[in-house]
Amino acid sequence: MVAPSMAAASYKPGRDGKPGDDGSPGGDGRPRAAASGTPAAGRELRAQGRRTMRRLLDAGLRVFARRGYHAARVDDIVRAARTSHGTFYLYFANKEDLLRALAVDCAHELTAMADTIGPITPDEAGRAELRSFMERFLGTYRRYGPVIRAWMEDQVGDRDIDRLGVKAFTAIGGKLGQRMREAGVEIAENQRAAVGALMAMLERVSYGVASGRVTDDDDALLDTMTTIVHRGFFGAPR
């Protein structure tokens, strides 16, 4: 499940020397949109421009995953996207701007995911719901792992990016806490701490899978994790 890019929402390229649909610079050779300081999330693109931006975003994810955010360079992203520096700067001011656009997409996907978490009862129906959520979370982490790690490890000193992470994980954690209460589970005096522990476990296991450090079969891993979480946090019988 991949959310459509929210970063390409409202930028309108023109024909009069402004950036074109193909991602080319303006008439004077300068990447006008980036030079103007308009963030990626504030531009509306036509079809080819959206494809170009998507290619850059996907390349950024690959490079951030391979090299880490701090070691990644615009050169690496341009090379991975098989495009030019001029095209990159048409859409993004720098690599942080690109990460910000990815963070918007990731936060959108996680927030939407929170809305889909149904009741997690102590029975088999609740177990199936929990496993479905964990499978979706793992899929999102596989795609957006570099963004989620940037949030968790405070890699970027950008308050807007941080706020997106807080909003997304608050939505997930809030819904899981609600489902715990509905299940009638009293697992801790401080439920907020319990939800935090559950989220931390999910994030670390997903990181292990996405990074290749955990090599178990997905189905076996999800079954094991579901059993642990269902019993430990939602009152499933042993």
Structural domain that includes position 222: 99-234
What is the pTM for the complete model shown? 0.78
Range with lowest mean pLDDT among 27-31, 36-40, 128-132, 149-153: 27-31
Same domain assignment for residues 76 and 109: no
Same domain assignment for residues 227 and 153: yes
Domain annotation covers residue 1: no
Last residue of a domain, which of 59, 93, 127?
A: 93
Same domain assignment for residues 86 and 165: no
Q: Residue 163: helix, strand or coil by DSSP? A: helix
Q: How confident is the model at residue 11 (pLDDT cuts 50, 70, 90)?
A: very low
Domain annotation covers residue 108: yes
Tally of domains within the chain: 2
| 24 compared with 77, residue with greater pLDDT | 77
Same domain assignment for residues 121 and 190: yes
Report the chain's mean pLDDT, rounded to a whole number. Answer: 83
Last residue of a domain, which of 63, 93, 123?
A: 93
Same domain assignment for residues 105 and 214: yes
Same domain assignment for residues 114 and 214: yes
Q: What whole-number distance in Å separates Cα of residue 42 and Cα of residue 29?
A: 22
What is the number of other CB atoms lying within 10 angstroms of the CB of residue 158?
Answer: 15
Same domain assignment for residues 122 and 185: yes
Q: What pLDDT score does 9 carry?
A: 35
User: Is pLDDT of 75 > 90?
Assistant: yes
User: Is pLDDT of 48 > 60?
Assistant: yes
Q: What whole-number distance in Å separates Cα of residue 194 and Cα of residue 189?
A: 9
CA distances from 5 to 43, 98, 102, 221 (A): 11, 12, 8, 30
Same domain assignment for residues 111 and 229: yes
Place of tokens 């936060």: 107
Last residue of a domain, which of 93, 112, 140?
A: 93
Domain annotation covers residue 209: yes
Q: What pLDDT score does 21 carry?
A: 36
Residues in the chain: 238
Same domain assignment for residues 111 and 213: yes
Domain annotation covers residue 49: yes
Q: Residue 9: helix, strand or coil by DSSP? A: strand
Please give the share of the chain, as a percent, with pLDDT higher than 70.
80
Q: What pLDDT score does 40 carry?
A: 52
Same domain assignment for residues 82 and 104: no
Q: How confident is the model at residue 154 (pLDDT cuts 50, 70, 90)?
A: confident
Q: Are 98 and 56 in contact (CB under 8 A)?
A: yes
Q: How confident is the model at residue 43 (pLDDT cuts 50, 70, 90)?
A: low
**pLDDT tens for each residue of 156-208:** 888 899 999 999 999 999 999 999 999 887 765 678 888 999 999 999 999 99
Beta bridge mates, 9: 44
Q: Are 62 and 80 in contact (CB under 8 A)?
A: yes
Q: What pLDDT score does 3 carry?
A: 37
CATH of the domain at 164: 1.10.357.10
b/e 119-138 (16+ beta carbons within 10 angstroms → b)? ebbbeeebbebbbbbbebbb
Same domain assignment for residues 26 and 144: no
**pLDDT tens for each residue of 107-152:** 999 999 999 999 999 999 999 999 999 999 999 999 999 999 999 8
User: Is pLDDT of 37 > 60?
Assistant: no
Same domain assignment for residues 128 and 217: yes
b/e 99-116 (16+ beta carbons within 10 angstroms → b)? bbbbbbbbbbbbbebbee
CA distances from 231 to 72, 119, 196 (A): 41, 15, 17
